[in-house]
Amino acid sequence: MKAGKTTGGPGGFGAFINREQVAGYVFILPFIIGLVCFTIIPIIISLCLSFTKYDILSAPVFTGLSNYVRMFTQDPTFWKSFRVTLFYAVVSVPLKLIMALFVAVLFYRGTRLTAFYRAVYYLPSIMGSSVAVAVLWKRLFAVDGVINSLLAFFGIDSQIGWLSRPDTAIWTLIVLSVWQFGSSMLVFLGGLKQIPVSLYEAATVDGCSRPKQFFSITLPMLTPVIFFNLIQQTINAFTAFTQSYIITNGKPLDSTLFYSVYMYRRSFEFSEMGYGAAMAWFMLFVVSVLTALIFKSSNSWVYRASE
Amino acid sequence: MLINPTLKKAATVLLAGVLAAGMFAGCGSGNSGSTASPAASSTAASSAASTASQAPAAGSEAPAGEATIRIAWWGNQLRNDTTTAMLNAYVAENPHIKYEAEFTDWSGYWDKLATQAASNNLPDIIQQDYAYIAQYHSKGQLANLTEQVDAGRLDISDVSESILSLGSFDGQLYALCAGVNAVGMLYNTRLAAEAGVDVPLRFTYQELMDMNAKVFAATGVRGETPGGNGGITMMSRDVGEVFFDVANGKIGSSEATVLRYFQQVKSTITSDWSVTVDVMQESSTAGVENSTLSTVKSWNTFPGGSNMMAAHQAPMDDELAMVMYPAVDDATKESMYLRPAMFFSITESSTNKEAAADILNYYTNSEAAQDLLRAERGVPVSSKMADYLSPQLEPVQQKIFAYIAEVTEVAVPFDPPQPAGANEVNKLLDDLTDLVRYGELSPEDAAARFLPEANDILAKATA
């Protein structure tokens, strides 16, 4: 590279390094290296592996599209896990957002203890996908767990293992997800603070009731934040792993077999890395399409101040 | 004034460079994959050691037999403590040897080992399991131990032939049994006594169900019958069949046996004395300390091996005892067997096979080692060492030793190591068993599905 006309540096290397762009790139170099080393290269490798049969112990063998063909045509468990994950996402994400918004609105009209409660409600989100919470959940919903003891206190004798019944197990995981509404709640709180107070004052003067204010002012003004939360939580739901892996391991009868858990099982327990990689790419495709659809739809429902 | 900002910029660039270099170094040591090094070796030392062990020539081992042995196992805290204590004792006696231990739990272990195998960076000694040795042997990852025996470095004269055969392929030893195990039924002696049930050493399925009913009637505590791979393996052996017919790459159990298995599952779950499907499901994802037996939700259970007795007993006040597996009512063959709790193998890629063999010899034949290991991996394989250790053990360990001695009287050889695809077949068996338990599938339908689907999995896995 030739030394350009720059201020300060005495030409040569100094001039080169002092160029604004070059210095900038050097500053972010550590991050770039990390990104390439640990994210980009593995992603590319996984794409290559998805066209192979690879048992980790021996070298991968190129098999063309066979993993994808088998996945779509010969593996009922694949579709089962896809349906389970889809159901989980479609049910848990809206419930979680409604819960988060509800609590955020409550907190918005602050009392002295608001900060304290905000922290308390945020806690589950931090611990959210941790193993400890998963184990706690398992105990809560066990046959001899807290839920059944509470029911017994109200005179209902329940011998149900909530996580052991194919029809209730997925709901306990959904409840767990809804319980972790804290981070969405914080984003909503931030959004609420952005809404100009003058709007509410004007509405009050015009004799607008509280519920009407909520639906006509709060909700429309919040749509950008709802949009953000929706995208974030949808992606989270589709990639959920720990809850299913630790609490139920996909049981009973695969009714809680999340896509990512099945992918892990194929890759590591059945030593089919190629198949697992193919599954990962299909999931990437689905999540990308969904995100694109949400983005596309946003034009018709998200409020943008500039318009 | 003009130089100052330049210097400042240069310094920050340098700093960034150092950071980047740090990341590269991070990449490098990540490959050597040592999660825990109790030998107090730094990361730098460990990566240096792994490069040394990969050097092909003897140049790096110039000073009289000096070597660093990497040894990997899965296990629990007790195993980590006892094994490192033994290794420290060995190193104290053999100062020219250093060791690096790499231990994880079961599930992480195989992922890690596979990755290391892929990068040609396996430890010198690896703990092995019956479900994996065939796979590792067929990929040429295990060293021939018979060569070490012939060279006089590994003494196996006190180990029985039937135990050695389980780690052998074509008459050559590739995996040395680390401790002996046997399947059986664990039961709660207090509940049995309360119900007036005298549990015999051997019994049939019908007698087992009668005992379950009696205990439930007297104490209200429920009972179990065997299920899953353990159940169907023993039912097959009872009539002279082998569940995984490795030689022919298919399931060796007959349709009649498979049907009998699923019918047993059905008749257990529909009986009034059976542990409910809810509880069964919960315990299937719980640890040993939360097993149905240890939490007194059932009076009996069928663990994977006799070494599990200690773990089941630990959280309990009631005393446990162990008897043999039930036999089908028209059994024609002896089915009880001794099996390795786990193995040790030396890897083919190891450049220190002699030193590694010496450590295995110490593990197997040294009294000092037994004192430190406390039979945590099962009864010592050397009969001499078992006799030496037995009188010094805690009561529960002594019971395990006594049970192994009983089984040794009758034991016949075990099935060959599980083939590739076995994990998936076992999962299929569990899934179908669950479907029958939940009443979603009749035993006949489950049996009709199992054989073709399992054979299909095995065919694909070996293709």
Amino acid present at B5: P
A33–B431: do the CB atoms touch at under 8 Å? Answer: no
What is the ipTM score, two decimals? 0.75
Nearest-Cα distance to chain B for A92, in Å, is 24
Asked if residue A174 has pLDDT above 70, the reply is yes
Inter-CA distances, A244 with A180, A201, A239, B101, Å:
15, 47, 11, 32
- Whether the ω angle into residue A252 lies within 30 degrees of 0, i.e. cis, is yes
Q: Give φ, ψ of B199 to 5 degrees.
A: -80, 115
Q: Summarize the confidence of residues A140-144 as an average pLDDT.
A: 83
Asked if residue A202 has pLDDT above 70, the reply is yes
Beta strands B168-169 and B172-173, pairing class: antiparallel
Burial class (CB in 10 A: 0-12, 13-18, 19+), A257: buried
Residues in B whose CB is inside 8 Å of some CB of A read: 2, 5-6, 9-10, 12-13, 16-17, 19-20, 23-24, 27, 110-111, 114-115, 117-118, 135-136, 139, 141, 276-282, 284-286, 420-421, 423-424, 427, 431, 434-435, 438, 440
Q: Summarize the confidence of residues B71-83 as an average pLDDT.
A: 85
Q: Summarize the confidence of residues A183-207 as an average pLDDT.
A: 86
Binned at pLDDT 50, 70 and 90, residue B155 comes out as very high
- Among chain B residues, the shortest Cα distance to A268 is held by B111
- Among chain B residues, the shortest Cα distance to A30 is held by B20
Nearest-Cα distance to chain A for B115, in Å, is 7
Nearest-Cα distance to chain A for B257, in Å, is 24
Binned at pLDDT 50, 70 and 90, residue B64 comes out as low
In this prediction, residue B210 carries a pLDDT of 93
Q: Which of B118, B282, B431 sits opposite A164 (nearest CB)?
A: B282
Instruction: Choose the mutation target among A139, A170, A253, A254 for the interface with B, i.e. most B CBs under 10 Å.
Output: A253
The better pLDDT of the pair B40, B326 is held by: B326
In this prediction, residue A129 carries a pLDDT of 62
How many Cβ atoms from other residues are within 10 Å of residue B63's Cβ? 8
Mark out the alpha helices in A109-218 (DSSP H runs).
114-127, 131-140, 146-153, 169-179, 182-194, 197-205, 210-213
Find the angle CA(A262)-CA(A268)-CA(A270) to the nearest 5 degrees: 75
Binned at pLDDT 50, 70 and 90, residue B52 comes out as very low
DSSP secondary structure string, A7-29? SSS-SHHHHHHHSHHHHHHHHHH
Asked if residue A38 has pLDDT above 70, the reply is yes
Nearest-Cα distance to chain B for A239, in Å, is 21
Q: Which residues of B touch A251 (CB under 8 A)?
A: 281, 284-285, 434
Three-class secondary structure assignment of B63-130: CCCCEEEEEEEECCHHHHHHHHHHHHHHHHHCCCEEEEEEEECHHHHHHHHHHHHHCCCCCCEEEECC
Amino acid present at B51: T
Burial class (CB in 10 A: 0-12, 13-18, 19+), B206: exposed
- In 3D space, the residue among B76, B291, B276, B106 whose CA is nearest the CA of residue B186 turns out to be B291
- Among chain A residues, the shortest Cα distance to B136 is held by A57
A30–B279: do the CB atoms touch at under 8 Å? Answer: no
3-state secondary structure of B435: helix
Nearest-Cα distance to chain A for B315, in Å, is 18
Cβ pairs bridging A and B (under 8 Å): 99
Binned at pLDDT 50, 70 and 90, residue B344 comes out as very high
Q: Which of A34, A56, A247 sits opposite B118 (nearest CB)?
A: A56
Asked if residue B25 has pLDDT above 60, the reply is no
One fold for B67-180+338-409 and B185-337+416-462 = yes
In this prediction, residue A11 carries a pLDDT of 66
3-state secondary structure of B270: coil
Residues 6+ away with beta carbon under 8 Å from B332: B238, B239, B240
Residues in A whose CB is inside 8 Å of some CB of B read: 8-10, 14, 17-18, 23, 26-27, 29-30, 33-34, 37, 55-58, 138, 142-143, 159-161, 163-166, 247-249, 251-254, 265, 268-271
Give pLDDT tens digits for B396-411: 888 888 898 889 888 8
In this prediction, residue B12 carries a pLDDT of 47
Q: Give φ, ψ of B25 to 5 degrees.
A: -60, -40
- In 3D space, the residue among B344, B358, B350 whose CA is nearest the CA of residue B91 turns out to be B358
Q: Summarize the confidence of residues A46-56 as an average pLDDT.
A: 88
Asked if residue B69 has pLDDT above 90, the reply is yes
Binned at pLDDT 50, 70 and 90, residue A78 comes out as very high
Instruction: Choose the mutation target among B277, B281, B347, B418 for the interface with A, i.e. most A CBs under 10 Å.
Output: B281
Superfamily name and number for B67-180+338-409: Periplasmic binding protein-like II (3.40.190.10)
Asked if residue A192 has pLDDT above 90, the reply is no
B285–A251: do the CB atoms touch at under 8 Å? Answer: yes
- Among chain A residues, the shortest Cα distance to B432 is held by A253
How many Cβ atoms from other residues are within 10 Å of residue B112's Cβ? 16
A23–B135: do the CB atoms touch at under 8 Å? Answer: no
The CATH number corresponding to B185-337+416-462 among 3.90.45.10, 3.40.190.10, 3.10.100.10, 3.90.1150.10 equals 3.40.190.10
Instruction: Choose the mutation target among B111, B285, B434 for the interface with A, i.e. most A CBs under 10 Å.
Output: B285
Q: Are A304 and A224 within 8 A, CB to CB? A: yes
3-state secondary structure of A293: helix
Find the angle CA(B223)-CA(B227)-CA(B233) to the nearest 5 degrees: 135
- In 3D space, the residue among B349, B342, B348, B369 whose CA is nearest the CA of residue B358 turns out to be B369
Number of residues written out for chain A: 307
Helix H or strand E segment including B245: strand B244-245
B6–A166: do the CB atoms touch at under 8 Å? Answer: no
**Structural domain spans, chain B:** 5-56, 67-180+338-409, 185-337+416-462
DSSP secondary structure string, A37-79? IIIIHHHHHHHHHTTEE--SSS--EE-TTHHHHHHHHT-HHHH
Supply the DSSP symbol for B315.
T
In this prediction, residue B442 carries a pLDDT of 94
Q: Are A235 and A292 within 8 A, CB to CB? A: no
Burial class (CB in 10 A: 0-12, 13-18, 19+), B198: exposed
Q: Summarize the confidence of residues A48-71 as an average pLDDT.
A: 87
DSSP secondary structure string, B336-381? ---EEEEEEEEBTT-S-HHHHHHHHHHHHH-HHHHHHHTTTTSB-S
Q: Which of B6, B20, B111 sits opposite A268 (nearest CB)?
A: B111
Q: Which of B135, B285, B421 sits opposite A248 (nearest CB)?
A: B285
Mean pLDDT of chain A: 84
Residues 6+ away with beta carbon under 8 Å from A246: A131, A134, A135, A138
Helix H or strand E segment including B188: strand B185-188
The better pLDDT of the pair B41, B414 is held by: B414
Binned at pLDDT 50, 70 and 90, residue A41 comes out as very high
A17–B23: do the CB atoms touch at under 8 Å? Answer: no
Supply the DSSP symbol for A218.
I
Which of A148-157, A167-176, B51-60 is predicted most confidently?
A167-176
- Among chain B residues, the shortest Cα distance to A20 is held by B9
Find the angle CA(B22)-CA(B23)-CA(B29) to the nearest 5 degrees: 90
d(CA B363, CA B356): 11
Give pLDDT tens digits for B156-214: 988 888 788 888 888 899 999 988 889 999 999 999 999 999 999 999 999 999 999 99
d(CA B419, CA B44): 39
In this prediction, residue B4 carries a pLDDT of 52
In this prediction, residue B163 carries a pLDDT of 83
Domains in chain A (CATH in brackets) are 1-49 (no CATH), 59-301 (1.10.3720.10)
Inter-CA distances, A49 with A41, A65, B48, B49, B115, Å:
12, 11, 31, 31, 15
In this prediction, residue A3 carries a pLDDT of 45
Nearest-Cα distance to chain B for A144, in Å, is 9
Q: Which residues of A touch B418 (CB under 8 A)?
A: none
B438–A252: do the CB atoms touch at under 8 Å? Answer: yes
Supply the DSSP symbol for B275.
P
Q: Summarize the confidence of residues A215-241 as an average pLDDT.
A: 88
In this prediction, residue A25 carries a pLDDT of 87
Mean pLDDT of chain B: 82
Quote the percentage of chain A above a pLDDT of 70. 94
Secondary-structure breakdown of chain A: helix, strand, coil percentages, each rounded to the nearest 5: 70, 0, 25
Residues 6+ away with beta carbon under 8 Å from B231: B225, B261, B264, B302
- Among chain A residues, the shortest Cα distance to B30 is held by A38
In this prediction, residue B204 carries a pLDDT of 93
